Structure 1
């Protein structure tokens, strides 16, 4: 079953929508799905639906609501990609972490699911890293997270397991940034990094030209095993 729910902000002065996919039976845990710069579009909703099919409660908050609610963009359509890049420039990740924290609280207090993991893509990959460093999330996964190399000083605050999927030909995250991530995180006891040789940004998207089937299947299988281990 899927629905749109309203989640109160941390400050209590407003609310934002989230797409929720519920499993057929009791949820084994919850997965907070963090959007790309394209909003909670068909691809993100499909991610949620697949987690629900696997027995998890899946929740994708509309993190762009402070700019405009209900944004859905297609990265394969040039004007929509341009709009997405504009939104990325306007978005404030520190506010986003507050909204992610509010979503975690909603999952635990209102949905009644205690164990919560987060998985994010692109901008959401960066936010997954920030979520691991700044919240009490039980486990986090980031796919092709951008600008993580600029936030490595926060790694010391990561107390719960974090996995990052890094395509080596990512045109948004260059080789120097990838090296910095490895240098800072390879020996971190809570962090696991996986490289995907020759793959580019967006390789695990559900729809569109960016998807690499083999790479997506491998990364998703690692994510599934990671959550099975750490959300049990």
Structure 2
């Protein structure tokens, strides 16, 4: 089990909350878990706990802190789902990436050492989109996105991707239509740093830890691919 702590923004003028889970032994790399629109809820905290059990320092920043600090919503409760959609509409994604960058710095500071510690990220839904943005706007070492939304509109940034990226794409995603998926493949299939995996007939949210959206078989497959990707690129 982890706990919430505060870390500084890039400017150092403010601070915000992050959930941190630490492994039993010394961590040599970190994984940043990027939230869905439901905040740092039980599912995101469970994912952090899992990555800590695999030997990584795991950190989930509260990216909605400027508009609703401590967001913790259940997607299977209609009223909470609607609250999440409202928060999404108010969220500044560019600022969110800067907060992820601050989290990268904090993770490296925590890991210490004489060499630059490796940090990866994995994001879901909104977090999948932010993971893609992080890959092109920061020096993070590896990024993974699950059912990221609107990535077709970010393809103009693909030239800036310098480190490995993996995207998990459910083909029946109600929030990512077929034409968007086609654009992602057309724009990224030949990118040397990007790997795409399709999941036939699966919908958005299939790899959530809890709730109605989860598909155990597909989640296990995707999470296994992510684990191998991190092992290859984070050590």
**Under a length normalisation based on structure 1, what TM-score does the superposition of the two structures give?**
0.98
**Conservation of the 8 A alpha-carbon contact between 2:27 and 2:111:** no
- Structure 2: segments with no counterpart, 5+ residues: none
Partner of 2:191: 188
Q: For 2:99, what is the secondary structure of its paired residue?
A: helix
2:9 & 2:30 partners in 1: Cα distance?
19
Q: Residue 74 of structure 1 corresponds to which residue in structure 2?
A: 74
What secondary structure does 1:118 align onto? strand
State the match for 1:177 in structure 2.
180
Residues paired across the two proteins, number: 232
**Take 1:110 and 1:56, find their aligned partners in 2: how far apart are those partners?**
12
User: 1:48 — aligned with what?
Assistant: 48
The equivalent of 1:207 in structure 2 is 210
User: How many Å separate the matches in 1 of 2:181 and 2:199?
Assistant: 12
Q: Deviations over 1:205-231 (max 9, x none)?
A: 000000000000000000000000001
Whole-angstrom CA distance in 2 between matches of 1:55 and 1:11: 30
CA-to-aligned-CA distance 1:178-223 (integer Å, 9 cap, x gap)? 0000000000000000000000000000000000000000000000
> Which of 164, 169, 182 lines up with 2:167 in the alignment?
164
Within a 5 Å distance, the mapping from 1:65-214 to structure 2 comes to 65-112=65-112, 114-214=117-217
Deviations 1:11-47 (A, max 9, x none): 1110000000000001131100000000000000000
The structural deviation recorded for 1:110 is 3.3
Q: Is the 8 A contact 2:135 2:165 kept in 1?
A: yes
| RMSD of equivalent CA atoms | 0.9
Alignment gaps of 5+ in structure 1: none
Alignment counterpart, residue 216 of structure 1, candidates 213, 216, 219: 219
Q: C-alpha separation between the residues in 1 aligned to 2:223 and 2:56? A: 15
Aligned equivalents of 1:84, 1:147: Cα separation in 2: 17
Q: TM-score when scaled to structure 2?
A: 0.97
C-alpha distance in structure 2 between counterparts of 1:181 and 1:196, whole Å: 14
- What is aligned with 1:36? 36
SS for the counterpart of 1:195 is strand
Q: Which moved more, 1:1-10 or 1:89-98?
A: 1-10
Contact 2:48-2:59 within 8 A present in 1 as well: yes
The answer as to whether partners of 2:28 and 2:111 remain within 8 angstroms in 1 is no
